Structure 1
């Protein structure tokens, strides 16, 4: 290869590497914290962040009897979470005026979620008295996403949600019954109980609640976050995340929960 071609390839490689870095390290992008109040739900505001993996309508085929039943469940879940938005978002998290809650919505096969979830976990480990995260499954990218989400929530019934969540976020494999069986064995989870719980009413309800919350906040894909009362669509840098956390602590993140 002559020197001119080699130089051209090196230049193209540098361009693509820089582009990839900008997509995977959002802190390199210039950012400004601009918040837009939401009309509904009241008390919350929106910050539009970076990359998002788009989803699709999980409720296609609504003209069928099964579709009508799904719509009815969807509406029931929407009313359920709307009655107590902060409770649905943050569950049993231990919070205080100084400890700001975050609700993370992700899909195991969304590449931006894999990056952001790892960073959120690292942040909560390094700032345990300042932030707490409630993890919501929002499987928008097909059958494997849905299967993985059910498995993680079923594993939670055996106290193994974190380990399942971490492995599913890191694996290059698509979720399948065979893969989940091996994963259960690796993590010491009872496989029969896992399979049974995946189709339980409790797991279905949890998925419906997270989907309803996504509808409440008009999420169009993953990752998505609610930080106190600030709604974030897309991947967000650590710098901007900390800025929002500080603002929530300063202004009183629970103001929306009192008015919601």
Structure 2
């Protein structure tokens, strides 16, 4: 009888042990889901921002400076969804020309994308020499290699002044500028990338046709 009781006791302990791990797994799963929902879910489409004063800055843009439609993109060079959206943004620029102004602003998600901050700074350093968009394209095409040595090599390939670029990147000259973009994005409700503002209305990533459906009525 004593052995039977011992066996039952061991079995009960095992059952308790298993349920404990299940409970822990559920708690951890809920915590991870919450983090994902808060930080990585795209912003709801069609939400107007009350105060649009902070949307634009002195950031790189393409298109007409006084275009009737302005698209501001908050993006991260290490973000796969941002890389996937880049061809769509380029297509918009080609299709609408001076009718649409496209502004790029940095929103590096450094907790999950450790190379995004320096990549953003590299693009700003390239902008000093008039090649932001060229660097922009190279970075998105090479997301698996965004370390500082690679960034400096891309500068060589883009025929940038090496001494100027390297000094800019090594000194973190534009770290504050990148941080300013991120702060502006947070204040505007950006919680994931890419996030777009079309004439002050917030949208998450969309297809070219979806962008077109928003842009065309604004052009009249």
> TM-score higher than 0.5 here?
yes
2:99 counterpart (130, 152, 162) = 130
Alpha carbons of structure 1 residues 90 and 103: separation in structure 2 relative to 1, 3 Å: farther
1:242 paired to 2:212: yes
Q: For residue 108 of structure 2, what is the aligned residue in structure 1?
A: 139
Q: How many residues align?
A: 173
Q: Equivalences for 1:35-184 in 2 at 5 Å?
A: 35-38=46-49, 40-41=50-51, 84-88=53-57, 94-96=65-67, 99-140=68-109, 141-184=112-155
Matches of 2:118 and 2:59 in 1, distance apart? 23
Secondary structure in 2 aligned to 1:103? strand
Alpha carbons of structure 1 residues 35 and 167: separation in structure 2 relative to 1, 3 Å: closer
Matches of 2:85 and 2:206 in 1, distance apart? 8
Shift of 1:87: 4.1
Alpha carbons of structure 1 residues 87 and 217: separation in structure 2 relative to 1, 3 Å: closer
Contact 1:104 1:226 in 2 (8 A): yes
TM-score normalised by structure 1 residue count = 0.59
Matches of 1:249 and 1:198 in 2, distance apart? 40
Q: How far does the alpha carbon of each residue in 1:169-200 deviate from its partner, in whole angstroms, 9 at most, with x for none? A: 11153211221222111111122211222366
After superposing on structure 2, the runs of 4+ consecutive aligned residues of structure 1 that deviate more than 2 Å are 33-38, 84-93, 198-202, 246-250
Q: Which has the larger radius of gyration?
A: 2
Matches of 2:141 and 2:99 in 1, distance apart? 26
Alpha carbons of structure 1 residues 203 and 172: separation in structure 2 relative to 1, 3 Å: closer
Quote the RMSD (CA, aligned, Å).
2.6
Secondary structure in 2 aligned to 1:220? coil
TM-score normalised by structure 2 residue count = 0.69
Q: Which runs of 5+ in 2 are unaligned?
A: 1-43
Shift of 1:130: 2.2
Q: How far does the alpha carbon of each residue in 1:129-168 deviate from its partner, in whole angstroms, 9 at most, with x for none? A: 3212111121114321111111111111111111111111
Q: Which runs of 5+ in 1 are unaligned?
A: 1-32, 45-83, 251-260
Contact 1:89 1:213 in 2 (8 A): no
Secondary structure in 1 aligned to 2:155? helix
